[in-house]
Structure 1
Amino acid sequence: MSADILIEPLTPGAFAPFGEVLEAAGAPDRLINQGLCGRWHDLARLDIADGRPGLSLFRSETRTLPLKLGMVERHPLGSQAFIPMSFDPFLVIVAPDDGGVPGRPRAFRTAPGQGINIARNAWHGVLTPLHAPGLFAVIDRIGAGANLEEHWFPDAYTVRDA
């Protein structure tokens, strides 16, 4: 049975069960570079098991709404941080764990300038830019071993604007 998922704004509180919101909000933690640069310090828990953190660039095709959501995935060996390389919002889909399978998904739209760090082993949708160029810096685990688990829903969800 297909169901609708309404898109919510991405806030640190709403996203907390799944990871961290990365944004330069409020006053910086400290000023560096002779006071010319604000630093928002240590915003994400990079959680890497049996490997090392790596920085990659991803370019993903853009998506349109409404969006059919048939699959989510998780990475048991490492968190993933997604930092857009443009000031365009993107869609973030996550789901709570329900006894080893994903529960009902939630969808968030980022504000311009927001990125995310998805916690290790958190169910999430694939990278979903809503605007070109769909270019992201991604910090995640590099190493051997099975670090991808996919779950296909019996019936796809439809993700749409509220």
Structure 2
Amino acid sequence: MTRRIVAEVISEEAFAPFGDLVEASGSPDKIINQGQCGRFHDRAKLDFADGQAGISLFNANPRALPCTLEMVERHPDGSQAFIPMTHQPFLVIVAPDDAGLPGVPRAFITKPGQMVNYHRGTWHGVLTPLHSPGLFAVVDRIGSGSNLEEHWFDTPYEVVP
């Protein structure tokens, strides 16, 4: 038996307990590059216990909805930002912490041009593009020691549009 999660359109308010929704919205903080570029400054909180920030490239296989959610993960020593390198939406799954275990997950679908930054220790699903190519830049902690905890659900969830 599976449990069902209905994916909702992501919003800054709904995602705030889990991380930062980043997009170029509103007026730029500053106009730079000879007046040709708007800078939307410092939009995500990067947070690392030790180590340093690194930028990696992830190339994930796209998935379609409905899809099965069997596990979530978290990174206790650092935040993690997923930055799509295409102008396509992707699926974001998060869960509140409930005494060290993930609570009931929520699913969101981004709009093109949005990225997410998971706060340190936030339970989240794996990178889930909905279109090909699934190319993302990922900013996260690079350092020694394990920075990954996984939780496999006894009963999986089905994420539906």
TM-score by structure 1 length? Answer: 0.98
State the AA in 2 paired with 1:149.
Answer: E
**Alignment partners' CA distance in 1, 2:137 and 2:23:** 14
Q: Match of 2:76?
A: 76
Superposed displacement of residue 46, structure 1 = 0.2
**Alignment partners' CA distance in 2, 1:113 and 1:46:** 19
Q: Match of 2:132?
A: 132
Superposed displacement of residue 35, structure 1 = 1.3
For the aligned residues, what is the CA RMSD?
0.7
**Alignment partners' CA distance in 1, 2:87 and 2:34:** 27
Superposed displacement of residue 134, structure 1 = 0.2
Superposed displacement of residue 2, structure 1 = 2.2
| Structure 1 stretches of 4+ moved >6 Å | none
Q: Match of 1:153?
A: 153
1:120 aligns with 2:120: yes
Identity %: 64
**Alignment partners' CA distance in 2, 1:96 and 1:62:** 25
CA deviations over 1:65-106 (Å, ceiling 9, x no partner):
111001000000000011100000000000000000000000
Superposed displacement of residue 130, structure 1 = 0.3
* Structure 1 unaligned residues grouped into runs of 5+: none
Q: Match of 1:107?
A: 107
**Alignment partners' CA distance in 2, 1:33 and 1:66:** 44
* Structure 2 unaligned residues grouped into runs of 5+: none
TM-score by structure 2 length? Answer: 0.98
Equivalent pairs counted in the alignment come to: 161
Report matched runs for 1:28-107 at 5 Å: 28-107=28-107
Superposed displacement of residue 26, structure 1 = 1.2
